[in-house]
Amino acid sequence: MNKVTMDTIINYAKRYGFVFQGSEIYGGLANTWDYGPLGSELKKNIKDLFWKRFVQESPYNVGLDSSILLNPKTWEASGHIDSFNDPMIDCKQCNSRHRADHLVENHDETVLADAMSINELEDYIRKHNIACPNCGAKSFTPIRQFNLMFRTSQGVVDDSTQDIFLRPETAQGIFLNFRNIERTSRMKIPFGIVQIGKSFRNEITPGNFIFRTREFEQMELEFFCKPGTEKEWFAYWKDESRQFLLDIGIAEDNLRMTDHEESQLSHYSDATTDIEYRYPWGFDELWGIASRTDYDLSQHQAHSEENLEYHDQVENTRFIPYVIEPSLGVERLFLSVLHEGFSEETLENGETRVNMKLHPALAPYKVAVLPLIKKRHRDMALELHKRLSKHFMTTYDEAGKIGKRYRRQDAIGTPFAITIDDESKEDGTYTLRDKDTMEQKRLSETELIEFIKRNIQF
Ligand code: GAP
* pLDDT tens digits, 37-62: 999 999 999 999 999 999 999 999 99
- Residue 162: pLDDT above 90? no
Q: Provide the CATH number for the domain formed by 6-70+168-339 in this structure.
A: 3.30.930.10
pLDDT tens digits, one per residue of 166-185: 999 999 999 999 999 999 99
* Cα distance between residue 110 and residue 184, in whole Å: 48
Find out whether the beta carbon of 326 lies less than 6 Å from any atom of ligand 1: no
Instruction: Please determine, for residue 267, whether its predicted confidence score (pLDDT) is greater than 90.
Output: no
The yes/no answer on whether domain 85-147 falls in CATH 1.10.150.20 is: no
In the predicted structure, residue 115 carries a pLDDT above the cut 70: yes
Q: What is the pLDDT of residue 213?
A: 97
pTM assigned to the model: 0.95
Query: What tens digit of pLDDT does each residue of 205-254 get?
Result: 999 999 999 999 999 999 999 999 999 999 999 999 999 999 999 999 99
**CATH dotted code for 365-455:** 3.40.50.800
Distance CA 307, CA 318 (A): 11
Substitution candidate for ligand 1 out of 47, 146, 216 with most atoms within 8 A of CB: 216
**Atom 25, ligand 1: residue with shortest CA distance:** 212
Please state at what angle helix 445-455 crosses helix 374-388, rounded to 10 degrees. 60
Quickly list DSSP for 274-333: EEEEEETTEEEEEEEEEEEETHHHHHHHHHH-----EEETTTTEEEPPEEEEEEEEHHHH
DSSP for residue 125? H
pLDDT score of 158 more than 80: no
DSSP state of 53: I
Domain edges within the chain = 6-70+168-339, 85-147, 365-455
pLDDT reading at 129 higher than 80? yes
Mean pLDDT throughout 351-365?
96
Q: Which of 415, 427, 307 is nearest to 367 (CA)?
A: 415
The whole-number average pLDDT for the span 382-411 is: 97
**Which residue from 332, 333, 336, 337 has its CB within 8 A of the most atoms of ligand 1, so it is best to mutate?**
332
Q: Is 291 in the pocket of ligand 1 (CB under 6 A)?
A: no
CA angle 290, 295, 297 (to 5 degrees): 110
d(CA 130, CA 137): 9
In the predicted structure, residue 1 carries a pLDDT above the cut 70: no
Whether the predicted pLDDT of 66 surpasses 60? yes
Ligand 1 site, residue 213, Cβ cutoff 6 A: yes
AA letter at 290: A
312-326: per-residue pLDDT in tens? 999 999 999 999 999
Question: How far is the centre of ligand 1, averaged over its atoms, from the C-alpha of 166 (Å)?
Answer: 15
- Distance, in Å, from the CA atom of 420 to the CA atom of 369, rounded to the nearest integer, reads 8
Give yes or no for residue 328 CB within 6 A of ligand 1. Answer: yes
Sign of CA dihedral 420, 421, 427, 433: negative
Q: What are phi and psi of 43, to 5 degrees?
A: -60, -45
pLDDT in the model for residue 266: 86
* Model pLDDT, residue 2: 58
Least confident piece of the model among 208-217, 250-259, 340-349, 407-416 = 340-349
Average pLDDT over residues 359-380: 97
Whether the ω angle into residue 59 lies within 30 degrees of 0, i.e. cis, is no
- Report DSSP state, residue 115: G
Evaluate whether 294 touches 321 at the Cβ level (below 8 Å).
Answer: yes
Q: How far is the CA of 177 from the centre of ligand 1 (A)?
A: 21
